[in-house]
Amino acid sequence: MHTSAALDRIQPSATLAMTARAAELRAEGVDVIGLGAGEPDFDTPDFVKEAAIEAIRAGKTKYTAVDGTPELKAAIRAKFKRDNGLEYATNQITTNVGGKHTLFNAMVATLNPGDEVIVPAPYWVSYPDVVQFCGGKPVVVKAGPEQQYKLKPEQLDAAITPKTKWLILNSPSNPTGAAYSAGELKALGEVLERHPHVWVFADDMYEHIVYDGFEFATIAQVCPSLFERTLTVNGCSKAYAMTGWRIGFAGGPAWLIKAMAKLQSQSTSNPCSVAQAAAVAALTGDQSFLKSRAAAFQKRRDLVVGRLNAISGITCPTPEGAFYVYPAFPELIGKKTPKGAVIDSDAAMVGYLLDEARVAAVHGDAFGLSPAMRISYATSETLLTEACDRIEKACGALS
């Protein structure tokens, strides 16, 4: 018995692997500061927890409709209208087991072997792998620090071919935190208007985590002509600190939503009934805590960006959102560690930081743009300060 060709086309998640490695070291008593995890350190709000407890007591522990309860779909419709000015009917809403599941359902439901999907890099690690699992071809377009990690309209236009089926657009971005303004989205939309066969997977998971007065926008909102060929994706994981609850959702054309439900009916079936009840509370309850949490993240961002840019050989653009920075370090490649090992890749650099500085980050190669690393600053300012001290010392020891 051998594994399938589809499975052989993909790799395990590098971000989850680094998080697991850091946890193993801590379990062994090693003082590791984990900056690899893509989840907030804040707790799920109490009112969301209480809604889940009440749902259990009320017996909401049975199967639900395959892609979400009517109550949750209503809450998602209201969220899209309130936050994004997008109006969807109930049959245009899907609820899934996290945003990764939404991606998987959409790609499996639409891709045929040889179909192309444009993936700007740096990208979230799952995008190209899910495309490859489906037999599709990820067309990676690199957007480096010199362009603030954002895809330019002319790059998009050059990447589109008759085989292009989707553009995946993540804003604010995991792994860079870069976010597209309404004007930048409109410029990309003007390119897409000339190519009506290309669809947009708009991953807005970090919508509420933005800084410096940045006004979030999503592409179907600023380009109404693209509404019928955009899947607008979001979830409860990041803004509401509900990563483990596994609730993602999307709004899109009814035929696509129906196709995704068909697939889900033969895979996971419904998302957890209790988590769905909690998500209703999250989306319809008091939203004021979102701004205070974003303000806390902004203080951490400023701390980390300032410290990293002060280290010789590291360049770290200031992100507009999310809770990641993506420092590049081409000048450090080729240097030697105190033990004589050569830093010949960003994987080597991340390994050096883990082994010598006891700081866990994720190498840039996993996100499609090297040499760099992703650092999550979703932890306390005390730990971030200590981590930056360690990184600075480790970099200073290179020769």
Give the tens place of pLDDT for each residue, 278-292: 999 999 999 999 999
Task: Indicate whether 10 pLDDT > 90.
Answer: no
- DSSP class of residue 271 equals P
pTM above 0.85, yes or no: yes
**Mean of all residue pLDDT scores within the chain:** 96
Pairing of strands 93-96, 116-121: unpaired
What integer is the mean pLDDT of 72-92?
A: 98
Nearest to 282 by CA among 45, 38, 20, 42: 45
Task: Indicate whether 12 pLDDT > 90.
Answer: no
Give the tens place of pLDDT for each residue, 191-229: 999 999 999 999 999 999 999 999 999 999 999 999 999
Helix (H) or strand (E) holding 102: helix 99-110
What proportion of the chain, given as a percentage, has pLDDT over 90?
93
Task: Indicate whether 173 pLDDT > 80.
Answer: yes
Query: Other CB atoms closer than 10 Å to residue 8's CB: what's the count?
Result: 11
Beta strand residue intervals within the chain, DSSP E: 33-34, 93-96, 116-121, 137-142, 164-170, 199-203, 230-235, 248-251, 324-325, 359-360, 362-363, 373-376
The pair of structure tokens assigned to 388 is: 């930056």
Question: What pLDDT, on the 0 to 100 scale, is given for residue 24?
Answer: 85
Nearest to 200 by CA among 234, 173, 166, 176: 166
Helix (H) or strand (E) holding 274: helix 273-284
Question: What pLDDT, on the 0 to 100 scale, is given for residue 16?
Answer: 77
Which residues share a beta bridge with 362?
A: 374
When comparing pLDDT for 26 and 164, which is higher? 164
Question: Is 198 in contact with 219 (CB distance < 8 Å)?
Answer: no
Question: What pLDDT, on the 0 to 100 scale, is given for residue 247?
Answer: 98
Question: What pLDDT, on the 0 to 100 scale, is given for residue 21?
Answer: 80
